[in-house]
Structure 1
């Protein structure tokens, strides 16, 4: 039987490299670093300077290698990205099965949000049809275990994970945007620049609810919004709707 050596098979072998038996007698130049080291270097570069800076040349420079030599480890930036995403998934900590179901669902969403906050470049990576490696599969298994015992059927369990993931991802995106804006100009300085002029130009009688609610939340948040508070508020109400009555 001829062994499959197509691109999909090669990528899966890279992803599942620690679960597969080692190859014998490989040809080509001797590798001076490991695939794990390549992936770690790429994640570190993306964390520091953003996903756009990750390239075969840049990662090779991080490791002190010639650019073309990196292709002996990974076939492309796309393949490297998939390996990076799977490696990050291994950072998840186990969710204790002894926790109440509500706390387990909260932990699922919190882990997803925290991952994006720690690795903002993940928001730039297409999530649809991401090739599954051991990191992402272990995460899915743990997430399912967190939902298991809730009284939901298998399809509903999968949907719960999807809904929590989408909610946490969207909130993380807003939180990162807020943090980026705050680095460029503080919320207090921004409001000092725009608030008084807006108060003069906007007829309060035309926007009575906006004026009233805006004054209350503006005093509370001292910012245009409160992504962290929104996450806590929304997550608990989302879980209220998920769990069977």
Structure 2
């Protein structure tokens, strides 16, 4: 089991990797010149995770994609866990600023919309625990931009943070549903699923026992030709959520 000193050393190494472009360059080490950079390794890992999912992401797979031996990759990143942290931060770094000229309501909706878009583009992010993620420049800069989008609208510092957290949590939950829907429709379209399932449900559900669920569920299924509508639910939900947050300003 790692000691306290080991954990401190690991945390120090990870922070140095995350903030590598902001720290003074280290003196060149002796030996063969490295042919790759940490950025190369992270980019290759993101591409693999996007294609195959994070469960299949290994140091060996990344090394093969880069055309190097697996052991040589450990000179760039110390572990798969550290690599994933770097990947999360690199994805966050691509999030552009929210235009300041937008109305405040649109800026708040953009916070959630961009989180959702990121998760849909990189579904493996949903499998990474958001708890105790070490802050790198990518995630911190995005948080700075999110705060800037709602700075000056009348929320306290604590309320600003909570507003961003609520918008992020809503976008994440909706993205999880959208990703699940995309995976299901890859096997069978929602329309075909409903054509099969709808009549079967109508036969087995006792209408006197579930009058509201039966009526509303049938209406929803026939309208969407699917179990739900993640895109529509997001548009409706984020607008309602933002309007509620703005009542506190």
What are the equivalent positions in structure 2 for 1:74-223 lying under 5 Å apart? 74-223=77-226
TM (norm. structure 2) is 0.93
* Structure 2 Cα separation of the partners of residues 185 and 12 of structure 1: 44
| Coordinate RMSD, CA, aligned | 1.3
* Structure 1 Cα separation of the partners of residues 32 and 182 of structure 2: 45
| 2:245 aligned residue | 242
Give ranges in structure 1 of 5+ residues lacking alignment.
none
| 1:232 aligned residue | 235
What are the equivalent positions in structure 2 for 1:27-106 lying under 5 Å apart? 27=30, 29-106=32-109
Give ranges in structure 2 of 5+ residues lacking alignment.
1-7
* Structure 1 Cα separation of the partners of residues 203 and 10 of structure 2: 62
Measured against aligned partners, the alpha-carbon deviations of 1:84-107 in whole angstroms (never above 9, x if no partner) come to 000000111110111111010000
TM (norm. structure 1) is 0.95
**Offset at 1:29?**
4.2
**Offset at 1:27?**
4.2
Change (3 A) 1:8 1:226: same
* Structure 2 Cα separation of the partners of residues 150 and 167 of structure 1: 21
1:16 aligns with 2:24: no
Contact kept, 8 Å, 2:194 with 2:221, in 1: the verdict is no
Measured against aligned partners, the alpha-carbon deviations of 1:16-35 in whole angstroms (never above 9, x if no partner) come to 11111211132454311111
Contact kept, 8 Å, 2:198 with 2:221, in 1: the verdict is no
